[in-house]
Amino acid sequence: MVRDDLARCLGMLSATLLGAIASIGVAADPSACLYDAPAASAVPLTAAGLSERAGWNRIEEDNTSHVFQGTAVLTNDKIAAVLSKDVPELAVYSRQTQELSLCALLRPVCREQSDLKMRRVAIHENTSASVVVDAECVTADGQACHISFELAAGAAFVKTTAGKGVTKLTVKSPCRFAVLPDFFGDDMVLDAEQLGVSQAQIPAENFLLQMIGGGDAILMTVAQNRDNDIRVSLAQNSPRQIESVDISYGKEPNIWVAVLADKEIWHERGVTLNDADKVIEMNWHAPYQALWRVDFSAADGMTDSWQMLLQHPEGKYVMQNWFGEDSSQGQRFGGEFGDRDWNKPGRRRWNPVLGSFSYPCWIDNVGRAFMQPLKARRYVEGGEVCNFDGPAIVYPLDRVKQMPFVTPLEKLTVVDLVRMTLGVGPCEYILDLEGQKRNSRGVATCYARDVINAIYKENTQLQRAPAIDEHLTMAVSFIRNVRERIDQYVVFSREMAGYLEEQKKRDPACAKFCDELLAITKRTDQYFESKRQAIHTPEFAQETADRFRKELLTYSEKDAFTKCEAQMNVFTSIGGAQDGLVAACRTIVKTLRQRAGIAMAQHPELTDICTEVRNRTQKMLRNPTAYEAPQH
């Protein structure tokens, strides 16, 4: 019955339920309010019912002793939440657009039982800042359990807190696509049409996005705990949908359920192999300025995540990095190396993994969105080639803060909701802001080359000897830093290979999967050996710098520039080989991470191995050097 009611209600998601929302409309006072409403006028809730509130009793502020005669309704300007009188189930509606949309049904799981009956509803807090109600319910065998629901003023989310006996939260919100945002690699996208199982386990991440409302809403769950995996239940009828997810509370008591809603706040665009390298207008306009992420599907079942470029009115392209940093502003020392040049004809870019390519997604200066699927996606040089094929999903990941691209204060993104729910400190910890920072020393060899070559070309080396000496030191420091990172990847791959071999011996049934990951893991060693001579050693780079100082620092003959140029080419040759190697190593680790997530969803018996692989890969992906991330 509940499933049928949900399907019927969610069938109205894309319908416009217009009504004159009077005193508490979309632009109303954001204050939190609590009502005692007759079930007949609140289940299911309509825009007219919310506006008229016929028979509803507004519970006065600070009244926490009220005994509910009907059903509890919690409202603010963004959310309306209706708590069923008979069962502990909260219906969450979005009021962020002109439509009133049912986005989810929330139900606690008590001692692995979800068929619970409501015993009573008590008020814990009732102010204009926040309303909190506690649902006391009982299992079939008479065991009591508690869950509380909180709605704060102006919040686009409901906070759920597990009390005695509650272990999980079931979130019912049918959708085809769910996304696990990844702040260190590529997102994991679940497509119900590609999952051939009735239930799937997905990695225990803190965030899950469910793409609902035909493009006009995203349901986001935020959990403090990531100790336990998320169970996904899929409908068996066609078209296939993710019917519900069970999220464990684990050691922490809170799970937030948030709604991002706006016209076309997410978008799906199908891509085929024949679209490779073609410029395609997406027929979608971003509803507001933001850092929009595009998750491209690849033919091998993987996902490639890219941030969309934004085009200035005068034509140039920019992209903001994580957390408000403008990536067009390169830092020569102690940060990124070199300006991000998005502005060559055709948005041409180069990186050590993909070589030369046109950046694949952007929004032009009149707001139109485009994509140009990559011609080929290479894991390592001479390795696999895999084009985009399947749905591409767009959603607002973070705010933009660089003029003229500024996200309006009233609009929200995924990262906003993380901050609002978890708080700044826990948010920074979970997003691992320290791990997002670049691991950089010295200056890139190409930059040092350009500076020193220019000095010798001007024949001013005698006057500028200190600057030459400084840039030689920083070039060697750069080479040493990247080599340390490469060595870390080599150690990681060998330790990972050892772990996988051990798992094969422990459980032969997982051998096929372990062999697949071993084949990917061993590419690091193979690629390292192929580049060993080209990258030389930091000691060789130091010797080259010392020889330059001895032979050329005070050399001013006619051939000084030619000799300088030849010596500096040694540095850039080492630097270029290192850049390609370290970028390929990172791509291999990202591939392992995503493969493990996909395998977990398809084969729950591999959960333990996949969890360990994902934990190890996240640690390895922390603090990259400047040229590791192939999309930036």
pLDDT on residue 429:
64
**Residue-wise pLDDT tens digits, 496-512:** 999 999 999 999 999 99
pLDDT on residue 135:
95
* 237 shares a domain with 151: yes
Give the residues across from 125 on adjacent strands: 132
What CA–CA distance (Å, rounded) separates 450 from 467?
12
Residue 423 domain-assigned (yes or no) = no
508 burial type by CB count under 10 A (0-12 exposed, 13-18 middle, 19+ buried):
exposed
* 358 shares a domain with 460: no
Residue 416 domain-assigned (yes or no) = no
CB 393 within 8 A of CB 179: yes
Residue 631: band (very low, low, confident or very high) from pLDDT cuts 50, 70, 90: low
CB 597 within 8 A of CB 610: yes
Least confident of 18-32, 146-160, 517-531: 18-32
What average pLDDT score do residues 173-179 get? Answer: 95
Residue 397: band (very low, low, confident or very high) from pLDDT cuts 50, 70, 90: very high
**451: three-class secondary structure by DSSP:** helix
Residue 427 domain-assigned (yes or no) = no
Angle at 401 between CA 396 and CA 402, to 5 degrees: 120
Residue 196 domain-assigned (yes or no) = yes
The residue ranking higher by pLDDT, 239 or 494, is 494
* 353 shares a domain with 295: yes
Residue 318: band (very low, low, confident or very high) from pLDDT cuts 50, 70, 90: confident
What does the DSSP 8-state code read for residue 229? P
Question: Which of left, alpha, beta for 390 (phi over 0: left; psi -120 to 50: alpha)?
Answer: left
Domain boundary among 361, 385, 410: 410
Angle at 49 between CA 43 and CA 54, to 5 degrees: 100
User: Among residues 369, 184, 192, which one has the least CA distance to residue 266?
Assistant: 369
* 553 shares a domain with 460: yes
* 402 shares a domain with 453: no
* 210 shares a domain with 284: no
* 592 shares a domain with 509: yes
Least confident of 56-70, 287-301, 382-396, 531-545: 382-396
Domain boundary among 214, 235, 261: 261
CB 443 within 8 A of CB 471: yes
Residue 50 domain-assigned (yes or no) = yes
Residue 532: band (very low, low, confident or very high) from pLDDT cuts 50, 70, 90: very high
What CA–CA distance (Å, rounded) separates 134 from 74?
12
User: Among residues 170, 171, 198, 159, which one has the least CA distance to residue 114?
Assistant: 170
pLDDT on residue 8:
37
Determine how many CB atoms are found less than 10 A away from the CB of residue 443.
24
Residue 628 domain-assigned (yes or no) = no
Burial 3-13 (b: 16+ CB within 10 A, else e): eeebeebbeeb
At residue 354, does pLDDT exceed 70? yes
pLDDT on residue 316:
85
User: Among residues 201, 331, 231, 284, which one has the least CA distance to residue 598?
Assistant: 201
CB 133 within 8 A of CB 148: yes
Residue 507 domain-assigned (yes or no) = yes
User: Among residues 611, 616, 617, 609, which one has the least CA distance to residue 589?
Assistant: 617
Residue 421 domain-assigned (yes or no) = no
Look at the block and give the residue holding tokens 């826990």: 426
* 176 shares a domain with 65: yes
pTM score, two decimals?
0.85
* Overall size of the chain counted in residues: 632
pLDDT on residue 341:
56
Percentage of residues of the chain with pLDDT beyond 70:
87
* 233 shares a domain with 278: no
What average pLDDT score do residues 322-351 get? Answer: 54
Residue 405: band (very low, low, confident or very high) from pLDDT cuts 50, 70, 90: confident
At residue 542, does pLDDT exceed 70? yes
SS3 content of the chain, % helix, strand, coil (to 5): 35, 30, 35
What average pLDDT score do residues 573-586 get? Answer: 93
* 70 shares a domain with 23: yes
The distance from CA 566 to its chain's CA centroid, rounded to whole angstroms, is 44
Helix 511-521 and helix 607-621: axis angle, to 10°? Answer: 10
Which residues lie below 8 Å from residue 612, measured CB to CB, with a gap of 6+? 499
**Residue-wise pLDDT tens digits, 179-206:** 999 877 789 999 999 888 888 888 877 8
What average pLDDT score do residues 449-478 get? Answer: 96
* 284 shares a domain with 247: no
Which residues lie below 8 Å from residue 148, measured CB to CB, with a gap of 6+? 124, 132, 133, 134, 135, 160, 161, 163
At residue 12, does pLDDT exceed 50? no
Domain boundary among 231, 261, 291: 261
CB 156 within 8 A of CB 260: yes
pLDDT on residue 436:
64
Three-state helix/strand/coil letters over 417-430: HHHHHHCHHHHHHH
Structural domain that includes position 353: 267-410
What's the total number of domains in the chain? Answer: 3
Least confident of 137-141, 275-279, 516-520: 137-141
pLDDT on residue 152:
97
The residue ranking higher by pLDDT, 395 or 348, is 395
What average pLDDT score do residues 446-466 get? Answer: 95
The residue ranking higher by pLDDT, 619 or 25, is 619
The enclosing domain of 132 has a CATH number of 2.70.98
pLDDT on residue 230:
87
* 244 shares a domain with 377: no
Residue 210: band (very low, low, confident or very high) from pLDDT cuts 50, 70, 90: very high
